[in-house]
Structure 1
Amino acid sequence: MVNVDDAYYPHTVALEVTLACNMRCLHCGSYATGQNRKKALSLAEWKKVIDDLKQLKAQFITLSGGEPFMYKQWRELIKYIRRAPEAKASLISNGYSITEDDIIFMKKQGVSHIGLSLDGDQTVHDYIRQTPGSFQKVLETARLCQKHDFSFSVVTSINQINYTIREELLGIILEHKIKNWQVQVVNSFGRAGKNRESMLISHEQYAQLVHDISRWQNEQKGRVRIMPADSIGYCHPLTDDMLEGAEWQGCNAGKFVIGIESNGNVKGCLSLQHDDFKAGNVRERSLIDIWNDDACFAYTRQYDHTRMCGACSTCSDGKRCQAGCMAIAHSVHGTIYENGYCYKTIMEKMRHKRNAA
């Protein structure tokens, strides 16, 4: 857990080692295709990035994509990260092309964890992922992780397509004895933005999802750890309790989180897709210099509370919350100063509506 009183350092890092992917998911925030970005970093350049991250005391380094297993030298990067035992390595994958040998390799190298995407039952998952057979493949990968006692979680992105089968999703998690489940809400970047009307859940659905996650956590305690992502909150007793005691203190992008795209662009978080969030490029300036320049991450380090708008402008927790998850706020509203996907605000509006009736 990050102590927000600490000096800024990249506690959690995501490396988009490739934008190439073997799926065309309808909700992909990166709009990943079969091709990497132009002028992608070489293996040597990635190693320099990792060297700088180690100097900056990075603790968790995740290989992401696209699909990281499409990056041919992913094993070399894992080995290089693990040369410094204080830096933990992990991966996020769609689980489609992972082999048993890959899992054996990851465990042997001390990879701490892998996140596997699961977005529905067979019909819904394969449709969202636009890849027939992907549901069975990710479950097969989960079984291989269990066979080799390799730590993994399942990650579900809730959207209009799978919202109505969320209870069935829990059933799948329990049936397959999956112990860690991360639930998040789709933002409006990439393909999800293009398919916005059929992707984004309503505020009322969002509030119900929060209630469901809280109930699931209580009912399934000891069977599965259910973890809401940063897109779910904020500053309400119910959501604070769901975060396992980690009180929300604003978006950590550029404060304790950093992302590097495969072309070397640096962002406070890989979910911040817009170029406005580009802090620099590692080919033009060292990652250490970029990180140590507060102006590069002014959107969080120098957050201007006076610009908050909508319900956030009058919220008593505005200064602490800073409009919640910045990726959700910006992708939906086009600003980092308002976030309608806030449980506290939604519940207050629903209460006022009932009282006025």
Structure 2
Amino acid sequence: MAGVDFDRAPFTIAWEVTRACAFSCVHCRADAQHRRNPGELTTEEGYALIDRLTEFGSPILVFTGGDPMMRKDLFDLIAYADAAGLRCSLTPTATALPTVDRLRRAQEAGVRRIALSLDAPTAEVHDDFRKVKGSWERTMAILRNAREIGLSTQVNTTVTSHNLDLLPDMVRFVREVGAVQWSVFFLVPMGRGQELSMISPEQHEEVFGWLHDLSLTGDFDIKATAAPMYRRVAIQRGAGASVAGAGFATHDGLDRPTQGVNDGRGFLFVSHLGEIMPSGFLPLSAGNVRVDDVVDVYRNHELFRSLRDPGRLTGKCGACEFRQVCGGQRGRAYAMTGDHLASDPACAYVPDGWPS
């Protein structure tokens, strides 16, 4: 899979199996609700979707939400996808649902990794993010339980102005739970996340530099999510201009590609209602799996084709010498400008020849 052609197939597919979730996190992309939507894809429709996804080969299929564990057929869907050759991961919410027994069932069904959100090194700050008292302790307990049963874990942290100064203190907790990857998300102001304060372009740049330094000495992999600019920083620091996904390790158990994954370029999102989108952070629908062929949409729809053509970018991103390896975060550009091909407002870099 490391050499996959992103014009033909995504490397990662996220299926939002439900938007139901007991939490009301202040940065939620999905603006999740407490009850399941009756319009969600059914079990049989889920099986049909999985059958089509195998046309892409063996991409990573992330069962996400909302809280995917609020679907009673979750383990059946995972087992079906695993049997079909897809590499499954799971992003549960830190409620009472991910018990040790259910973690084992997920593992037996075919989940290779679970990812949980830990947004601060203290319960006070994290619980305020999640709006659920005790969620920090529960998250740590689930991560420890997963480690005990041999299930690979990933820690997700969303960076905002509220926790920026706490990032260095997060490192010991990522190590403590034995996470194989720390996925550091950079806020895309959509859903409930519109109410949060995004860090400045200069602060983004400082965090990228710090993360790259950490990546050289850390004992876990680091992924800057919703921040393709990190690849440019890694290249500028000597990671090698010939490596399109510079700064992304490939030894974390899921054989990540050297080419950077962007919205619609190596990434595909299917909503709880079956909408086909470039990502959960770029809520533009190119069709619906109930009536459209998801494979054809990814390969040929104008929206996806435009996202895979760096020559279509405008502003600084269009003039940037790193546009092929970076391309900016398209969801953030859309959220803040209304144009998914505009410059990423979080990037501080000024391309050669661009007016400063």
Q: Answer yes or no: is 1:228 the counterpart of 2:238.
A: no
Q: Answer yes or no: is 1:269 the counterpart of 2:271.
A: no
CA distance in 2, matches of 1:112, 1:278: 29
Q: Does the CA-based 8 Å contact 2:185-2:227 persist in structure 1?
A: yes
Q: Which residue of 2 aligns with 1:89?
A: 88
DSSP-derived class of the 1:155 partner: strand
DSSP-derived class of the 1:280 partner: coil
Q: 1:298 aligns with which of 296, 299, 305?
A: 305
Identify the range of structure 1 (340-349 vs 91-100) with the bigger mean alpha-carbon deviation. 340-349
Are the structure 2 counterparts of residues 14 and 115 from structure 1 closer, same or farther at C-alpha, using a change threshold of 3 Å?
same
CA distance in 1, matches of 2:147, 2:138: 14
Are the structure 2 counterparts of residues 289 and 174 from structure 1 closer, same or farther at C-alpha, using a change threshold of 3 Å?
closer
Q: Answer yes or no: is 1:164 the counterpart of 2:174.
A: no
CA offset at residue 18 of structure 1?
Answer: 0.1
Count of matched residue pairs: 338
Q: Which residue of 2 aligns with 1:314?
A: 319
Q: How does 1:67-216 map to 2 (within 5 A)?
A: 67-84=67-84, 86-96=85-95, 97-120=97-120, 121-193=122-194, 195=195, 198-216=196-214
Q: Which residue of 2 aligns with 1:338?
A: 343
Normalized against structure 1, the TM-score is what? 0.85
Identity %: 23
Q: Does the CA-based 8 Å contact 2:152-2:180 persist in structure 1?
A: no
CA distance in 2, matches of 1:283, 1:321: 34
Q: Answer yes or no: is 1:329 the counterpart of 2:333.
A: yes
CA distance in 2, matches of 1:92, 1:160: 24
Letter of the 2:314 counterpart: M
Normalized against structure 2, the TM-score is what? 0.85
Specify every segment of 5 or more residues in structure 1 that has no aligned partner in the other structure, as ranges: none
Residue by residue, what CA displacement relative to the aligned partner does 1:65-119 show, whole Å, maximum 9, x if unpaired? 01111112111101111222x3111111233230101111122223111111110
Q: Does the CA-based 8 Å contact 1:203-1:346 persist in structure 2?
A: no
Q: CA RMSD in A?
A: 2.7
Q: Which residue of 2 aligns with 1:8?
A: 8
Are the structure 2 counterparts of residues 58 and 104 from structure 1 closer, same or farther at C-alpha, using a change threshold of 3 Å?
same
Q: Does the CA-based 8 Å contact 1:265-1:279 persist in structure 2?
A: yes
Residue by residue, what CA displacement relative to the aligned partner does 1:211-234 show, whole Å, maximum 9, x if unpaired? 2212222332xx332222242424
CA distance in 1, matches of 2:216, 2:140: 25
- Identify, as 1 or 2, the structure richer in helix: 1
CA offset at residue 160 of structure 1?
Answer: 1.2
CA distance in 2, matches of 1:18, 1:348: 46
Q: Does the CA-based 8 Å contact 2:2-2:258 persist in structure 1?
A: no
